[in-house]
Structure 1
Amino acid sequence: MKIPNLETSRLLLKKVVNEDQQNIYRGLSHPEVIKYYGVSYSTFKETEEQMRWYSNLEKSGAGRWWSIRVKETEEFCGAIGINDHHPEHNKAEIGFWLLPQFWGRGLIQEAAESLIHHLFEDLKLNRLEAYVEAANSKSSRVLEKLGFIHEGTMRDSEIKNGEFIDVKIYARLNR
């Protein structure tokens, strides 16, 4: 299925393409971005793995990701998308990240509202899930503003930097 461009008053959401690799590397190697993100890369070359992941998600139907860009300049801000798409259950997992210079402007909320509308209206998803490290209060707040409900906390569910961490699960239903 084709990944459509999405637009808001301030943003353009475009399919992540190979030409975005430098920007993806900038984000997924930035210490502040990856602090609570499950993926990180220390070299530009390593980021090829992430680019293959985006492509494979789309080909398999398991997800799709968009670059977030400032509408007027098309400056890259971050990325947003879904993975673990299960059409048989009409659900998927949403994820997002933003370069620090764009934090605090409501851009993730704006991009997510547009994406959620597309996912619920065009793809007819019934449920969107989000998994957030318990210490990531900013992402939790964004999800709550977007109407996601905290359904629970999975205690000691992942290991990060040699330590167990708790992960919160949020969900929003298409109602």
Structure 2
Amino acid sequence: MEQSDLIQQYISKSANAGVTIEIELLTESAKKMKIIENKIYINPTLISHDDFELYLSYLVRKLVLPKMKFETERLLIRRYEERDHDDCFDFLKDRETCYMDGGYEPFEAMNEAYDSLMQSFKEDEGRLMIYSKTDQKVIGVIHLMDVKDRAVETMEIGYVIAPQYRRCGYAYEALSALIHKLQEDFKLDLLIAGAIEENISSIQLLKKLGFIYEGKRIKAFYHPCYGAIDLVYYYKER
């Protein structure tokens, strides 16, 4: 594909993810690439034809993922907003949800510790809210985390759905749409996800999404019910 066609394709895909970007070709610069605000600069004279999309997709991911916002049939996937404060408490006060998510104790009140967590949600560029368009509230959270110990660009994905919205296909709807954008539209090489073995529904969802069993991280963390516990990991390649 011609470079100009690729550029227009990535501009369009970024717009579909809720982010307006510009891309400009450089010919008189010593730098291969740079990002300034919402504009990408890339120098094709310093990049082989075969590698051009590799560099371009990398730059687009860096610009788009922290600002991503898109819709599915029933859901809006977006960054945290102040109005989400109370909605998140609905599932973060649930013991089973917290124990299955990461082995932490549920919140008993919207106190200072809870407010601090919501502030971290606001600041975390990898934290996405799952918002029900019908009920007009947040019903879950997705967390995208950079992974540094792989040979290709990799992200770890985590997720939580409020108890009353489980077994309705919301998690699959949100995650399948996000994974398509990450790996098909923006060419992310590898996704991984971990779960405790007791979280059968989460593991079944990962398999349905096309993730493949990778192995165990032994004694990954201390769980309030199970003690020092393993995490089972799954992966999905592009």
Check the 8 A contact 1:134/1:165 in 2, yes or no: no
- Classify 1:35/1:123 alpha carbon distance in 2 versus 1 (closer, same or farther; 3 Å): same
Structure 1 residue 104, shift from structure 2 partner: 0.6
Please name the residue that 1:83 is paired with.
145
Partner Cα distance (1:83, 1:49) in 2:
19
Structure 1 residue 85, shift from structure 2 partner: 5.1
Structure 1's consecutive aligned runs of 4 or more residues displaced over 4 angstroms after TM superposition are: none
Please name the residue that 1:9 is paired with.
73
Partner Cα distance (1:158, 1:54) in 2:
22
**Which shifted more, 137-146 or 115-124?**
115-124
1:47 aligns with 2:114: yes
- Classify 1:84/1:47 alpha carbon distance in 2 versus 1 (closer, same or farther; 3 Å): farther
Please name the residue that 1:18 is paired with.
82
Q: Structure 1, unaligned stretches of length 5 or more?
A: 59-63
Letter in structure 2 aligned against 1:14: R
TM-score (norm 2): 0.64
Name the % identity: 28
1:161 aligns with 2:235: no
Structure 1 residue 100, shift from structure 2 partner: 0.8
Q: From 138, 148, 169, give the equivalent of 2:211.
A: 148
Letter in structure 2 aligned against 1:53: S
Partner Cα distance (2:120, 2:146) in 1:
12
Q: From 162, 175, 178, give the equivalent of 1:115.
A: 178
Q: Deviations over 1:105-131 (max 9, x none)?
A: 111011001111121244431111111
- Classify 1:12/1:42 alpha carbon distance in 2 versus 1 (closer, same or farther; 3 Å): same
How many residue pairs match? The answer is: 169
Partner Cα distance (1:11, 1:35) in 2:
25
Q: Structure 2, unaligned stretches of length 5 or more?
A: 1-62
- Classify 1:71/1:144 alpha carbon distance in 2 versus 1 (closer, same or farther; 3 Å): same
1:27-46 matches, cutoff 5 A: 27-38=91-102, 39=104, 40-45=106-111, 46=113
- Classify 1:43/1:84 alpha carbon distance in 2 versus 1 (closer, same or farther; 3 Å): farther
Check the 8 A contact 2:79/2:122 in 1, yes or no: no
- Classify 1:84/1:51 alpha carbon distance in 2 versus 1 (closer, same or farther; 3 Å): farther
**Which shifted more, 156-165 or 141-150?**
156-165
Give the greater-gyration-radius structure (CA). Answer: 2
Structure 1 vs Structure 2 CA RMSD: 2.2
Any idea what SS the aligned residue of 1:35 has? helix
Q: Deviations over 1:58-81 (max 9, x none)?
A: 2xxxxx222212223423211113
Partner Cα distance (1:34, 1:123) in 2:
31
1:46-65 matches, cutoff 5 A: 46-58=113-125, 64-65=126-127
Letter in structure 2 aligned against 1:41: F
Please name the residue that 1:104 is paired with.
167
- Classify 1:48/1:83 alpha carbon distance in 2 versus 1 (closer, same or farther; 3 Å): farther
- Classify 1:57/1:69 alpha carbon distance in 2 versus 1 (closer, same or farther; 3 Å): closer
TM-score (norm 1): 0.85
